[in-house]
Amino acid sequence: MRRFLIAGNWKMNCGPYDAAELLEGLKEKKAEVDENVDVLVCPPFVSIGMAVNYLHDTDIQVGAQNLHFEENGAYTGEVSGSMIAESGCNYVIIGHSERRQYFGETDTTVNKRSHKALEHKLAPIICVGESLDQRKSGEHYDLVKNQVTAALFDISKEDILDVVIAYEPIWAIGTGETASPEQAQEMHEHIRKVIGGLYSEDTADRINILYGGSMKPANAKELLSQPDVDGGLIGGASLDAESFSEIITIAE
Ligand code: 3PY
């Protein structure tokens, strides 16, 4: 009953001109997508307007890469949930490991941002995942359980159905390393059990859990064929129209 979600995280790449070029290529290859797959691109804030305009006549949706948890006010450089929703987005990435590592994002702010996203009918894509040291020391399951539990604190049983979790092992981000399909499946199953314990098994069965961390055409088929992998949050390969559309085709 879950549909695949193939989401591109452009990170700090593609201002409006480059975005237009990339989207042109994507539109040529994939303006229409099978109904079992949702497709999303998450450009930097300044390219969201361009993306929404370019993609309005396609099946491809647009999301943001972050939002602030306050409604508005004296927060120089920040962008609020209402602004993102008003710009035409319906998803927002929250708590990516790069934000946790470089911008002081914590489990508490991830939770606050997730609440704010839901308030504005933006589906939060909440990122969790362990470092290589944490995996080597065997604490990865507990760590991810704690991240998921903290991120979902006080999210209602209705709102949880709009939440997407992305498992992104930090050691597989921008390193060319990828979790093996078995490693991905084990962690996704674990995350689903954690959600089942917090809500119900039925709810857990309905939540999309994406894999992120160097997903590309060469490994997408194996990763997406795991029973608990419901799509991908794709970094580098989403910056190339050919590679991204190949991954979408694999999901279809
Ligand atoms: C990657 O694949 O590098 C990502 O971080 C996706 O979010």
Domain that holds residue 146: 4-251
Return the CATH number at 67: 3.20.20.70
Question: Does the C-beta of 214 come closer than 6 Å to ligand 1?
Answer: yes
232 forms bridges with which residues in the sheet? 6, 211
Question: Does the C-beta of 235 come closer than 6 Å to ligand 1?
Answer: yes
Q: Which residue has the tokens 């209602």?
A: 156
Among 105, 214, 216, the mutation site with the greatest number of ligand 1 atoms within 8 A of its Cβ is: 214
Question: Does the C-beta of 9 come closer than 6 Å to ligand 1?
Answer: yes
Q: Which residues are catalytic?
A: 96, 168
How many domains are contained in the chain? 1
Closest listed residue to residue 41, CA positions, set 7, 85, 89: 7
- pLDDT for residue 7: 98
- pLDDT for residue 250: 97
Predicted-complex ipTM score: 0.97
As averages over each run of 10 residues, the pLDDT of the chain (252 residues) reads 95 98 94 92 98 95 98 97 98 97 97 98 98 93 98 98 97 83 97 98 98 94 97 97 97 95
